[in-house]
């Protein structure tokens, strides 16, 4: 039969919140209850009759509670095929009662790890009996209904109430899928805990929370975000975030977190900074960032690492932009910024704490460490006769931070804590430099005194030659070309300064 009436249920849960209504509902519909330990006590205290699993198995809970339900009389009752003659004969022979419903909420393994508990406590929170019950019930979904998490209690209560404790095979199959979702996520968390150094080379990453997006990168593509965005951001105004919004926000966050001890502002389009600057105030930093490209800023994603006040909001309000992220806003600033109903305003609550990146390619996935190396003044190796000044060093590091978060091949031009221009995603470094120079001139920005950053080494001296003719006199690059000396010799002959960092920052 597709529709089955629940006549017996095994309940063994860690979290008891919102469980009592289900217990009352089952009892009122004549369902026989089996339980163990703390759950059994909880049911008894509710005044509802319950049969201890020990009475069913004629075997006590042993090994400090590690073994309670792992018994043929329990798993036979769950796994028996109700329409299978052989199974029915064996059930009768061994006096095994059928169990039509299993309710389990697993030990909180991930919460225990996150709490900083010692290893012994963590290991004891690896659920064995519960996970086995979930898998057994889900496997036999044609006959058994599985509730595998406290998150399901409310929906299950409503469903059973409306259906007089009957379930359809479609519902049982759906909840079986949810059960294997719970169990696979649980096993993944345990694997990653036991494999922190990645010695076992296997890609296992599980995220159960998801949000369906309006569409993917384009309207004909479906898009889903997997993760807990609310943990990192609070959206206080505007329309729903889209797939492209999230991609741009990720790029914006990675860039702004490079600036820890100074007020910074960045404007991004298609994951690349078209404006970035530091300043004494958010307003000053924004205006400097905006100056670099007043065209691309239209419809951009904006981010700052300081509280947005009314002065900054007045300037920002003049620009049409998609998103603004900040650690906070004054009341006056919000009054101004909320005048555009679709404008997305985010409060960034935490920094990124991930150290891995994943990308689906071909018929698999590639994984790498995030590029967490930020070039510092201490990393700079002077390779030319002319030394860099303190002001140039600050500009070089600033340019390098932006370069690191810009699509390769890239060249970044900067001075005085301001992105002057960049060449982005070009197939040659020379083209990237020419694009940056042309862009700076388009927006009337002088290149005199600017510095140049490159995400990778110069295989030929052509880039420093072009830079020199444009008025650029200091360069930062990783170094490492077999022809580094050609670029160094040109710099020495033309009184340019160049430093190597030893670190390449490709971004594809």
Hey, which residues are catalytic here?
Answer: 139, 270
Name the burial class of residue 453, with classes exposed (0-12), middle (13-18) and buried (19+) by CB atoms within 10 angstroms of its CB.
buried
User: CA-to-CA distance for 356 and 4, rounded, in angstroms?
Assistant: 46
Evaluate whether 54 touches 113 at the Cβ level (below 8 Å): no
C-alpha separations of 61 from 13, 36, 95, 453 in Å: 16, 9, 20, 67
Task: State the sign of the Cα–Cα–Cα–Cα dihedral 474, 477, 479, 485.
Answer: negative
Evaluate whether 78 touches 133 at the Cβ level (below 8 Å): yes
Name the burial class of residue 409, with classes exposed (0-12), middle (13-18) and buried (19+) by CB atoms within 10 angstroms of its CB.
buried
User: CA-to-CA distance for 384 and 338, rounded, in angstroms?
Assistant: 52
Q: CB-based contacts of 92: which residues, under 8 Å, 6+ apart? A: none
Evaluate whether 405 touches 370 at the Cβ level (below 8 Å): no
Residue 135: HSE in the Cβ half-sphere, 13 Å Cα cutoff: 12
DSSP string, 348-405: E-S-----EEEEEETTEEEEEE-------GGG-EE-SSSPPPHHHHHHHHHHHHHHHT
Measured in whole angstroms, the distance separating CA 402 from the mean position of its chain's CA atoms is: 22
Give strand pairing partners of 102: 10, 146
Alpha helices (H) along 317-356: 331-337
Evaluate whether 147 touches 175 at the Cβ level (below 8 Å): yes
């Amino acid at each position: 039969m597709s529709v089955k009436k629940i006549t017996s249920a095994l309940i063994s849960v860690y979290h008891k919140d919102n469980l009592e209504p289900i217990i009352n509902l089952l009892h009122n519909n004549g369902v026989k209850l089996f339980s163990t330990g703390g759950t059994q006590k909880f049911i008894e205290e509710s005044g509802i009759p319950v049969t201890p699993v020990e009475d069913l198995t004629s075997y006590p809970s042993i090994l400090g509670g590690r073994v309670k339900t792992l018994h043929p009389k329990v798993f036979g009752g769950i796994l028996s095929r109700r329409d299978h003659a052989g199974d029915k004969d064996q059930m009768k022979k061994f006096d095994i009662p059928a169990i039509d419903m299993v309710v389990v909420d697993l030990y909180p393994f991930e919460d225990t790890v996150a709490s900083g508990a010692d290893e012994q406590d963590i290991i004891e929170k690896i659920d064995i009996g519960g996970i086995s019950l979930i898998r057994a019930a889900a496997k036999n979904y044609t006959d058994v209904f599985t509730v595998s998490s406290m998150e399901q209690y409310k929906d299950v209560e409503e469903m059973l109430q409306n259906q007089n404790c009957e379930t359809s095979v479609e519902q049982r199959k759906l909840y079986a899928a949810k059960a294997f979702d719970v169990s696979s996520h649980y096993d993944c968390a345990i694997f990653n805990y036991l494999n922190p150094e990645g010695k076992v080379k296997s890609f296992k990453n599980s995220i159960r929370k998801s949000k369906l997006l309006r569409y993917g990168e384009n309207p004909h593509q479906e898009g889903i975000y997997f993760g807990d965005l609310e943990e990192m951001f609070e959206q206080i105004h505007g329309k729903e975030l889209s797939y492209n919004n999230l991609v741009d926000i990720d790029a914006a966050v990675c860039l702004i977190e490079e600036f820890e001890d100074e007020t910074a502002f960045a404007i991004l389009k298609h994951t690349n900074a078209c404006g970035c600057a530091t300043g004494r105030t958010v307003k000053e930093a924004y205006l400097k960032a905006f100056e670099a490209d007043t065209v691309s800023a239209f419809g951009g994603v904006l981010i700052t690492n300081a509280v947005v006040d009314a002065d900054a909001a007045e300037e920002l309000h003049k620009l049409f932009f998609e998103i603004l992220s900040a650690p906070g806003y004054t009341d006056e600033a919000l009054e101004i910024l909320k005048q555009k109903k679709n404008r997305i305003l985010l409060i960034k609550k935490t920094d990124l704490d991930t150290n891995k990146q994943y990308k689906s390619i071909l018929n698999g996935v590639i994984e790498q460490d995030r590029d967490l190396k930020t070039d510092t003044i201490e990393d700079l190796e002077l390779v030319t006769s002319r030394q860099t000044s303190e002001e140039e060093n600050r500009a070089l590091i600033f340019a390098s931070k932006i370069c690191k978060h810009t699509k390769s091949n890239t060249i970044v031009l900067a001075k005085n804590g301001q992105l002057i221009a960049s060449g982005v995603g070009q197939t040659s470094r020379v083209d990237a430099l020419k694009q940056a120079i042309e862009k700076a001139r388009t927006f009337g920005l002088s290149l005199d005194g600017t510095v140049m950053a490159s995400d990778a080494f110069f295989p030929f001296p052509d880039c420093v030659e072009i830079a020199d003719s444009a008025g650029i006199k200091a360069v930062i690059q990783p170094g490492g070309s077999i022809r580094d000396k050609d670029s160094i010799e040109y710099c020495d002959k033309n009184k340019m300064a160049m430093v190597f960092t030893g670190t390449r920052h490709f971004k594809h």
